[in-house]
Amino acid sequence: MSAQDSLYRRLLAWLLLPLLGLGALMLIQAYLGARDTADRAFDRLLEASSLAIAEQVKWQDEQLWLDLSPAALEMLATDAEERVFYALYNARGEFITGNANLPGLAMANGDEQALHYGNVTWNDQHLRLGIRETRLEGWSQRERFEVRVAHTREGRESLTLALFQGSLVRIAIMALLAACILVLTIRLALSPLTRLRRAIRERDPRTLAPLALNLPRELAELRETLNDLLARMRRVRANQERFIGDASHQLRTPLAGLSARAELALRQDDPALWREALQAMQATSASTARLAVQLLSMTRLNNPEASPELTPQDLNQVARTATLGALGACHREGIDLGVETSEEAILVPGVGWQLEECLANLIDNARRYGASQITVRVLANPPTLEVEDNGPGIPADLRLMVLRPFFRGQDSGEGSGLGLAIVDSIARAHHARLTLHEARQGSGLRVAIRFMGDRS
């Protein structure tokens, strides 16, 4: 797993972020709840004190009278150091008595007995104000009056804080638990992936056996895809091993011949025999070296990993380059090598060096199998490369067989049996067809590579 992008991290992030959001919502909710509770508790206190004050109101000297004992005033305060205010107003809204000139509230005409609450700012202090409208009971005069009580908010705030802190601890513990559970669950859910990774990492790099591992459905599909790939690789490797077996046999034989010839020559004293041996050895080593080169190109061509990009190639140019390359060897042997190109460029998507190697192999074959005249030809419709010789040719019934690796027509000991197989591989890679025909004139062989284009 790379540090930048891991499934584990991704899952964790996507689950933890919403969880964090939820936690924040819960915190807000807890704070609002705590404040509400504190308000209700303190409002009840306000209510009780307003009632107590209202009961103390008397009718004396033709007016309202309140005599509040310090003990009663004490009752209004709580432990918190808040300041408590009260005031008595008559029905006309005139201040009768109290320790503060508390403001009134715009009240809807509601319940007689209920206390009306309001938050007011008075003399730069935030107050909770409760107003009770009532009238004298049990006196001859049933005068209406208002009791106003208020206190500062310290008590409420400290209670809110205390309540909120309690919820905070509970929420934190729950969040921690949830995070732990998440981490564990993700680990658990991803554990098959870890097992798969470990199983792949612990494999012997040489083994191509299928993976046998119990996995959940989603990963089982991945395992099957991997196993398909492994099966294809097994087939490729089997093919390669067969080829290597053939190849090592093909290389060992001429090497044994070389060594035997050298040994024999060393036992002899006649320089003429040495010369003969050296000539034989030179021919064999040259053809063995050529075989090694061809084996290499065969292996590379059959390598499914390497599929080079096809670019437009002018067949005329390919034919000229290949002919120039083979000119030296043909001249030394007195073979007339020529090329017949067409006037205009014939473009075919392909890999230049592969097409040149194709022609080089065909020219080489013709040269080795006794031609004295070889012609490389480019035809336009369909685009075709041809190599025609005046050698002995190949009987019609053998023409398919010679395309197989290591098959040799008339075994003259010269060829490697790979040349045509290489040409065939290259032709296939170019969507072209390799066909063998009789020469247009005489007995020779005419090999044609016809490009079908991508339509085929």
Partner 1 sequence: MRLLLIEDDALLAETLADVLRLDNHQVTALADGDQARRALSQAGHGQDLILLDLNLPGCNGLDVLAALRQHDKETPVLILTARGAIEDRVRGLDLGADDYLAKPFALDELEARVRALLRRHTRSTALQVGNLDFDSLSQRFTLGGEPLNLPPREQRLLGCLMRHAGVPVDKARLAEEAFAGESMGDNAIEVYVHRLRRRLSGSGVELRTVRGLGYLLEST
Per CB under 8 A, residues contacting partner 1 are: 285-286, 289-290, 293, 296-297, 300, 308, 319-320, 323-324, 327-329, 331-332, 336-341, 352-353, 356-357, 375-376
Both structure tokens of 389: 């010789």
Of 320 and 431, the one with the shorter C-beta distance to partner 1 is 320
Of 38 and 291, the one with the shorter C-beta distance to partner 1 is 291
Question: Smallest distance, Å, CB 189 to partner 1?
Answer: 49
H/E element, 299: helix 271-301
CA separation for the pair 407, 159 (Å, rounded): 100
3-state secondary structure of 207: coil
Is 118 in contact with 105 (CB distance < 8 Å)? yes
Which DSSP string do the residues of 315-372 spell out, in sequence order? Answer: HHHHHHHHHHHHHHHHHHTT-EEEEE--SS--EEEE-HHHHHHHHHHHHHHHHHTT-S
Question: Smallest distance, Å, CB 364 to partner 1?
Answer: 13
Is 366 in contact with 389 (CB distance < 8 Å)? yes
Of 84 and 322, the one with the shorter C-beta distance to partner 1 is 322
Question: Smallest distance, Å, CB 452 to partner 1?
Answer: 24
Using the 8-state DSSP alphabet, how is residue 304 labeled?
Answer: T
Give, in degrees to the nearest 5, the angle at Cα 406 between 400 and 412: 90
Question: Smallest distance, Å, CB 324 to partner 1?
Answer: 7
Question: Smallest distance, Å, CB 422 to partner 1?
Answer: 11
Question: Smallest distance, Å, CB 294 to partner 1?
Answer: 9
Nearest CA among 32, 6, 351, 24 for reference residue 194: 6
Buried/exposed code over 59-83 (b: 16+ C-beta within 10 A; e: otherwise): eeeeebebebeeeeeebbebeeebe
Question: Smallest distance, Å, CB 428 to partner 1?
Answer: 18
CA separation for the pair 54, 169 (Å, rounded): 42
Both structure tokens of 66: 């309140």
3-state secondary structure of 122: strand
Question: Smallest distance, Å, CB 376 to partner 1?
Answer: 8
Of 36 and 333, the one with the shorter C-beta distance to partner 1 is 333
Question: Smallest distance, Å, CB 394 to partner 1?
Answer: 24
CA separation for the pair 361, 128 (Å, rounded): 105
CA separation for the pair 43, 116 (Å, rounded): 10
Is 262 in contact with 387 (CB distance < 8 Å)? no
Of 182 and 329, the one with the shorter C-beta distance to partner 1 is 329
Amino acid at 438: E
